[in-house]
Amino acid sequence: MSVIQIPSELIELRNAIRDFIDREIRPVEQRYAQELQETGAIAAAEEERKKIRKRSVELGFYTLHMPEELGGGGLSYLGQVLVHEEVARSGLLLAGRGGVVPSVEGPTIILSDCNSDQRKRYLDPLMRAEREMCFALTEPEAGSDATKIHTRAEQKNGVFLLNGRKHFITHGAEADFAVVFAVTDPEKQARGGITAFFVDKGTPGFEVSRIQYTASTVDRPAELTFDNVEVPAENVLGEVGKGFYAAMKWINGGRLNIASSALGIAQHLLDQITSYAKTRVAFGHPIGYYQYIQQYIVDSWCELEASRAMVYEMASRIDDGADGRREAAASKLYATEMVGRVADRAIQVYGGNGFMVETGVERFWREVRAQRLYEGTSEILRNNIAKTLGL
């Protein structure tokens, strides 16, 4: 375990999250057990998550991460890590991806730049889980280097005309509105030339142009297109030209959340393979009797413990005032690389059964592969950390 002393109130919060999941979400997912076993997915997942979000709002979990002045819980980064880890540890499809706590569909620290009118129209409904959003930054030619986006917003006759294309937008098809990042000053680009806009679904010229299919059975990002979309000036989030700076407000928390989810998934898989190794018999012995299986399990345990200690420590440093760029990048890098190895070993421990959808192991193997790509690839994170080390 980490050398960090976890406050008792955070332990109580983690236990409350666990109780909520076991009491109210696990029975719901159990109703879809056959479908999940046969397909690796739940067709009604979004519908069920909407109900879970509402209940999470009632219990005060859904907005824990938001500042108190915006109606949130003001939860520390360490607290957020514990919550996201616990949700992922459940192994439940319905608990994650914006079930118990927000993913991209819910309130984010970026929206602290809302004015009073925008708060009423966008932020407050998100806090109540009455509306859903998506974060539209990535483009076909601007992935890791998000500063090179081409979507333009030109001001004419008191409105902004938005033109461009976004892709890999998680929750893009389901969202009620998008926070869209566009270039308002091509010469300045990210240094004062990118602006964030609220764009409502149904606005003329704004379309979900296609659904993009991934290796995941539950992740269906969307491509969004903007053809002379008229966006009123009152829909600018924050200041004109400051959009990229607003986006960066979220990056530390986002990366820590991914890292903590990696911890939770790794713990879930470790629990699974440890139990399986004790009950699966081969050549007259439980397979945990054999050294190769022991090595897979022990290596996974050691790497998970080391990753957990690191992520907890990095979160605590940010809570204590650290800038957070290196700490969050290191957490995501280390934890997501770790969970990839654990997921691969899990399939190996299960053998042929591990490659079958019905055992529920291969789904995690596919899911965690994407964690090394979004919110900064492992290569970009290494580069960022190197810069903080003076390289």
Catalytic residue, candidates 86, 303, 362, 375:
375
Q: Match 């440890």 to its residue by tokens.
A: 274
C-alpha to C-alpha distance for 84 and 17, rounded to whole angstroms = 10
Q: What's 151's DSSP letter?
A: -
Element (H, E) at 283: none
Closest CA to 195 of 117, 133, 247, 138: 247
* Spatial distance between the Cα atoms of 45 and 42, rounded to a whole number of angstroms: 5
Rounded CA gap, 255 and 372, in Å? Answer: 11
Sequence-ordered list of residues with C-beta below 8 angstroms from that of 52, at least 6 positions apart, any chain: 24, 25, 28, 94, 95, 99, 100
Q: Is 375 a catalytic residue?
A: yes
Contacts (Cβ under 8 Å, ≥6 apart) of 26: 90, 92
Q: Which residues are catalytic?
A: 375
